Structure 1
């Protein structure tokens, strides 16, 4: 393949659907490029606004090609490739404004032999809204300051391609959206081509997101690969997809909390529950399109069952604060984009009548377990994060839950009175009680009040939940009550909570010998999965060109894996240096 000849003619196209608010600025920037543009085509993908009149008003070398109906971004790209006159084809989205030297830098990068695709840098122009900052953090559109060859992901919003190479691989796949994905890169590589990222070719993204638009966009990006993997073809596929979604958003929350952005973390929390609801609704859409009305009914009921599960999980999650508890389910409904897809029809109010629905909605990675697995120290920050998101979105910021202290230091004055009330209440409430154990010694900061009731027999979940709620109301402090049969006490799992119990537990009523039965797990015995989120954050930081942040996150992941500090709470550099003296040297 020959390099690009000097002053080679270049066609530019702009895929546009209802982009009138930014289209004129985009076209004027293309007409002001330092490298000459031979032609500009606006592919009007079924717009209902004034897109067509703007193209006519700009005139000159700009012309429009229209789809009578909305066909989607991949088809708009393929239409442009069929209409342009030249081999080198650049594109920018309608809400993107390239800098004057953008095309010149793209052509310079394309001059490398065998390069078939170059993507430029996309920089957000508006960072005032929380949803925009979340998009910048997680949608990976700005790939950073460093040039890359064959990167894993590239933004498709501003590119330069060889038309023949793209057409040789069959054009843009009709189930792709938003990104130049690994599949396109692999197809080009199989034919001897390569892709490049050129950070000096800068373009500004004029997009302004709301919480609804940014989460819907990401769901739309992640859906096609899940669909190709068969995730929407069966109940088992959707259960597996749900586990992937919850894991993905947990990693996002780790990155958000690690960077001190609790408002972004609340969006990630909300995205976790919203994506699962949207997946169930889309499963109903697919089933209906396949002519399987029974399956469509099942998935529609599953979507409603999931909504009910979110509400119940918020009620059951003991560390969750009152604002998040009262509003997470309501906020999920406020950003509902899936009902309009036809996947959440009204099929009766009793969503639990179908055992299949219950199994799909609650099996595998149970939402309550997932919420309980989040570090307790996060919930205080998520309370503040929810308030900031609600104010930014214009939602109600108040809470309607139980107004009691959530976390932070349990001050010394609380402990004597709290222990006194617990000693008075639980023996008359819990049958066959052997002992009451408190986590945290009097006078020490210990987060929310945690008590363990050791019993002779195992008790049903409904009874344990009732005791915990009554304890909350009686004590007036947010409590977490666990009820453990004595024969299970010596077999508690190796996790940070068991380690904390072993070191800090004190018997406040009954047989004090039960404390000695709690297994003495060492930090090294704890599974290392908590470190994976930090490692993912380190990889993302390095991909973005932020080497300093990448090194810091990698070191913190190592410390978590070594159990040198508890990942549930923030740790300062001074704390880390004290616990592991070479920490400062590693940074």
Structure 2
């Protein structure tokens, strides 16, 4: 492709000796090559550092373990090029991921963010090659959309970090990942960015988002950070995107109810009945159900 769009790639890496090489291979094998790959080794204690020292065409930044937001921010600050792409150290890009992003940029040069769909990938159930082949064998006429997405972001985070490419200037204007958030830091950033400009997407899964069955078993956090991020955005910005589009209130309440209910159930299961009671109370402000009411009563009796 005869284009001069330049990309930096940021990869946070922590104890990823089993996956980082495959991730790097997928980035280096793009049909439209990226200009630089920055890997931030976030204080890994396994063989990640040793593996990175033997990898080619990357720049490694070493830091003490500080978390994924610190790592991504360090990578962003080191980037030299106009568009910053993110990928986590266990995810895989399809070979034409960046080529499709270039297509989006050429069609909608005034947007600030670009992203694609992803394929949830359980490596134990499906090989990388089979997953990629399955995606590539499907029809190729995928929809492209470019719009304000803040009102949609209030329902769920549509922009998986490993699919996203953001203008460097937009990140400079909006601010980077919030290092105080242990989870939902990506949702928080995309909410803030979605107030600044248009996001474009292609409805084609161009990233394998690696999951394992154990990762689906959640552990209780000190707070319901996802709900806190959304509530903070609503207090600051309201329910509408800058162009006037508003969140679907029914969908918003349904998703908020589910978040509160799931957090409350985890808190109840772990014996943290005060947190459970508060979560179920919040859930009932969004939707009244017998299940949630029973949980609320049981939590109240045990707290």
Normalising by structure 1, we get a TM-score of 0.36
Secondary structure of 1:110's counterpart equals helix
Kept in 2, the 8 Å contact 1:185–1:194? The answer is no
4+ runs of 1 displaced by more than 6 Å? 371-374
Secondary structure of 1:157's match?
A: helix
RMSD of equivalent CA atoms: 4.0
| Matching residue within 103, 121, 125 for 1:125 | 121
Using the size of structure 2 for normalisation, the TM-score is 0.66
Mapped to 2, the partners of 1:16 and 1:97 lie a distance apart of: 14
The CA deviation at 1:166 is 0.6
Secondary structure in 1 matching 2:169: helix
1:102 maps to what in 2? 97
Give runs of aligned pairs for residues 93-492 of structure 1, distance below 5 A: 93-111=88-106, 112-126=108-122, 146-148=143-145, 149-151=147-149, 152=153, 153=157, 154-176=159-181, 177=183, 180-181=186-187, 184-185=189-190, 187-188=192-193, 190-191=195-196, 193-200=197-204, 202-210=206-214, 213-216=215-218, 222-223=224-225, 225-226=227-228, 247-248=257-258, 272-276=264-268, 303=272, 306=273, 370=291
Residues 52 and 277 from structure 1, CA distance in 2 versus in 1: closer, same or farther, beyond 3 angstroms? same
Deviation by residue 1:371-397 (Cα, 9 ceiling, x = unmatched): 7869xxxxxxxxxxxxxxxxxxxxxxx
Q: CA deviation at 1:67?
A: 1.6
Q: Which structure 1 segments of 5+ residues have no match? A: 130-144, 231-243, 252-267, 279-301, 307-356, 375-587
Q: CA deviation at 1:363?
A: 9.2
Q: Which has the higher contact order (CA 8 A, sep 6+)?
A: 2
Structure-to-structure mapping, 1:77-88, within 5 angstroms:
77-88=72-83
Residue aligning to 2:64: 68
Number of residue pairs matched by the alignment: 243
Contact between 2:162 and 2:207, CA under 8 Å: does it hold in 1?
no
Quote how far apart the aligned CAs of 1:14 are: 0.9
- Given that 1:166 and 1:172 are in contact with CA atoms closer than 8 Å, whether structure 2 keeps it comes out as no
Q: Does 1:29 find its partner at 2:26?
A: yes
- Give the 3 Å change call, closer, same or farther, for CA 226–362 of structure 1 in structure 2: closer
Distance 1:44 1:249, change over 3 A: same
Structure 2 unaligned residues grouped into runs of 5+: 126-141, 233-253, 296-303
CA spacing shift, 1:362–1:82, aligned 2, 3 Å = closer
8 Å contact from structure 1 (residues 25, 97) kept in 2: yes
Structure 1 residue 116: deviation in Å?
1.1
Distance of 1:26 and 1:362 partners within structure 2:
38
Contact 1:87 1:163 in 2 (8 A): yes
Q: CA deviation at 1:101?
A: 0.5
Check if 1:41 corresponds to 2:38: yes
Name whichever structure is richer in helix by fraction: 1
Larger Rg: 1
Counterpart in the other structure of 1:563: none
Shift of 1:93: 0.8
Cα deviation, residue 370, structure 1: 2.7
Mark the CA change 1:28 to 1:361 in structure 2 (over 3 Å): closer, same or farther. Answer: closer
